[in-house]
């Protein structure tokens, strides 16, 4: 197994050392484990995946061979040759051989994927339906199929079929029962003019300066646009996450991961692509904005605040009286952070549910506390938010002042 590490402390191989010196920066994610992060592994992913720790990566993007089964050369109407995908890595003796190949690498991916992780695989009509069937056979659960609509597709030069203007991506989780996975819904919506991100993505092919060249020719026949990986990573990962690409090619996944403060692991069988990918990623600039200036993602889970913290930090006193909305139910706060009402004692949630005769209830949103200065009753969630900001080190409004957006109710005892 060949290993090329792109960490700042690595000793680089001769073909890149000196010519492309590492650009050190504070914003590159630090390795979070003994995994070979920010590294290109040279070898067959079907073997190397089994050498990685199980349940260790957060997101997988796979762009496997499509098994295009091309017969002969392709020519344009002006008799110029079409540089199609005719590489050995895309050739299989039969559909059965391709299916076994697919089953092997998908099983390896399932082993290294965390129980909270997801996998994306891209393909065309040549292979995506076979891949989808095998995914389901192995226990994966399909969340979405996303259509990449190419804004500048290659024409069908023979005029015998529709112009093939899209590819299909399957986004899957590890199993049907998996309840937690990363999906940054709010961030995607905010970046899409406050509209839900749809499953049809209009993104142009990789062309121009983005397309890697080797001796004047395109270096890889199926290089994917960075915009595609950018959206996938923003949707399904967070800074510092580990992203695996078992068919690394010319390193698009690694280049985008570096820009977005993610760690990556690349696996590539062809040594030529390993070298091209390494040089490419070394030339990617680190993000200019320091980590401490990057705000938390919109979808980041809120810090859990137990009710007891309000008493421990003096935001609420033992013996304080709470009122249940606009009802006539009142409760008294006890020293152990339980509350009592109508002879019943328990958490703010259980007591509220008991009073309202409901199976469950969010006490934060139903109980109101009394502002000691104005006598006004304000929703208890106001204090929880203040406590959350205090723990996170964010300046907030004093406890006696509540933002106008918070629910409030005028009551008299």
**pLDDT tier at 72, thresholds 50, 70, 90:** low
Angle of helix 95-112 versus helix 128-137 axis, rounded to 10: 50
pLDDT at 159: 81
Name which of 229, 142, 216 is nearest 181 in CA terms.
142
Q: Which residues pair with 408 in a beta bridge?
A: 378
The residue that leads in pLDDT, 32 or 340, is 340
pLDDT at 411: 39
pLDDT at 15 over 70: no
Fold of 2-293: Rossmann fold (3.40.50)
357-385 pLDDT, tens digit each: 999 999 999 999 988 888 888 999 999 99
Which one of 91-100, 156-165, 320-329 scores highest in mean pLDDT? Answer: 320-329
* In 39-140, beta strands by DSSP E: 39-42, 57-62, 113-123
User: Which of 263-277, 281-295, 332-346 shows the lowest mean pLDDT across its residues?
Assistant: 281-295
Answer for the pair 58, 17: CB distance below 8 angstroms, yes or no.
no
Enter the tokens of residue 292.
């401490």
Enter the tokens of residue 103.
């089953």
Given its phi and psi angles, is residue 72 left (phi above 0), alpha (psi -120 to 50 degrees) or beta? left
**pLDDT tier at 314, thresholds 50, 70, 90:** confident
pLDDT at 224 over 80: yes
pLDDT at 413 over 60: no
- Mean pLDDT, rounded, for 188-216: 85
Name which of 204, 187, 239 is nearest 29 in CA terms.
239
pLDDT at 180 over 90: yes
pLDDT at 303 over 50: yes
Enter the tokens of residue 396.
């907030």
pLDDT at 62: 97
Q: What is this structure's pTM?
A: 0.69
pLDDT over 70, % of the chain:
79
118-170 pLDDT, tens digit each: 999 999 998 999 999 999 999 999 999 999 998 888 888 778 889 889 999 99
- Mean pLDDT, rounded, for 42-69: 92
Which part of the chain has CATH 3.40.50.150?
2-293
pLDDT at 51 over 90: yes
Measure the CA–CA gap between 118 and 129, rounded to whole angstroms: 19
């Amino acid at each position: 197994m060949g290993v090329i590490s792109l960490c700042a402390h690595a000793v680089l191989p001769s073909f890149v050392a000196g010519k492309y010196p590492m650009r050190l920066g504070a914003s590159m994610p630090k390795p979070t484990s003994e995994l070979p992060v920010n590294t290109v592994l040279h070898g067959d992913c079907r073997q190397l995946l089994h050498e990685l720790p199980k349940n260790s990566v957060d997101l997988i993007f796979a762009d496997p061979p499509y098994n295009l089964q091309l017969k002969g050369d392709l020519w344009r109407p002006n008799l110029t040759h079409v540089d199609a995908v005719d590489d050995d890595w895309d050739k299989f003796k039969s559909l059965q051989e391709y299916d076994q190949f697919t089953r092997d690498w998908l099983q390896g991916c399932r082993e290294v994927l965390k129980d909270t992780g997801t996998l994306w695989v891209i393909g065309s009509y040549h292979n995506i339906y076979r891949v989808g069937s095998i995914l389901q056979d192995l226990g994966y659960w399909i969340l979405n199929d996303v259509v990449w609509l190419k804004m500048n597709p290659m024409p069908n030069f023979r005029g015998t079929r529709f112009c093939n203007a899209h590819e299909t991506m399957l986004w899957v989780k590890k199993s049907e029962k998996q309840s937690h996975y990363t999906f940054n819904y709010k961030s995607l919506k905010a970046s899409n003019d406050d509209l839900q991100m749809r499953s049809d993505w209009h993104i142009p092919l990789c062309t121009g300066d983005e397309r890697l060249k080797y001796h004047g020719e395109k270096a890889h026949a199926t290089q994917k646009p960075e915009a595609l990986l950018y959206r996938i990573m923003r949707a399904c990962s967070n800074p510092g996450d580990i992203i695996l690409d078992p068919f690394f090619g010319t390193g698009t996944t690694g280049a985008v991961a570096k820009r977005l403060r993610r760690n990556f692991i690349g696996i590539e069988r062809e040594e030529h692509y390993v070298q091209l990918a390494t040089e490419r990623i070394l030339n990617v600039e680190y993000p200019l904005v320091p980590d401490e200036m990057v705000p938390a993602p919109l979808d980041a889970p809120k810090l859990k605040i137990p009710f007891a913290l309000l008493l421990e930090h003096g935001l609420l006193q033992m013996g304080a009286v709470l009122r249940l909305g606009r009802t006539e139910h009142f409760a008294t706060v006890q020293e152990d952070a339980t509350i009592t009402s109508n002879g019943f004692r328990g958490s703010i949630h259980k007591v509220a549910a008991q009073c309202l005769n409901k199976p469950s209830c969010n006490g934060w949103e139903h109980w109101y506390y009394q502002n000691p200065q104005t006598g006004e009753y304000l929703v208890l969630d106001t204090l929880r938010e203040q406590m959350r900001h205090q723990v996170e080190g964010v300046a907030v409004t004093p406890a006696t002042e509540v933002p106008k957006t918070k629910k409030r109710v005028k009551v008299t005892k």
